[in-house]
Amino acid sequence: MSTTKWSVDPTHSEIGFKVKHMMFTNVSGSFQNFEATVMTEDENFENADVTFSGDVSSVNTGNADRDKHLQSPDFFDAEQFPKITFQSTSFKKESDDEYILIGDLSLHGVSKPVTLNVEFGGTAKDPWGNLKAGMSITGKINRKDWGLSWNAGLEAGGVLVGEEVKFNIELQFVKQ
């Protein structure tokens, strides 16, 4: 079998996340600089090998002060841990367009397995003849499991920053 490499098209992709703020609203963010590849057997995505690397310094929540705080040692510690990485260990088809992606997520100096849900959008040629593939990926982690434990108590009870981080990832790949 031949192996096919698919490289992420960053102009049509986004790595998004949400975290509860003050226990009642979500704050969204994304990483602006990242790379991802998928290695497949021909054009069959089952059992694909998925890799990802993102620059912590590119975190963007729409607020420069919050982004600077997220890059600080209180959270990601971008100076000491400049990258977030993911390496798949399993990519299994559940139904026509649903997959389960399992792999090791490394951030803040900690690597742990995560399970993500993938909706495979299929493949199609763009107007320039490039074969593209699309995926929507969702999942969640507890940030404290990766040592991201900073928080502040609220006067009325509760905490400023939620522990659960939800991923909302949209990826478009180009066949190489």
Q: Quick check: 114 and 103 in contact, CB under 8 A?
A: yes
- What is the rounded CA–CA span in Å between residue 68 and residue 139? 25
Rounded CA-CA distance 111/96 in Å is 31
Residue 143 phi/psi, 5-degree rounding, is: -60, -30
Under 8 Å between Cβ of 80 and 73: yes
pLDDT tens series, the chain, 176 aa: 689 999 999 999 999 999 999 888 999 999 999 999 999 986 678 899 999 999 999 999 999 999 999 999 999 999 999 999 999 999 999 998 999 999 999 999 999 999 999 999 999 999 999 999 999 999 999 999 999 999 888 887 888 899 999 999 999 999 99
Q: Say how far apart CA 120 and CA 123 lie, in whole Å.
A: 9
CA nearest 125: which of 67, 175, 50, 64? 175
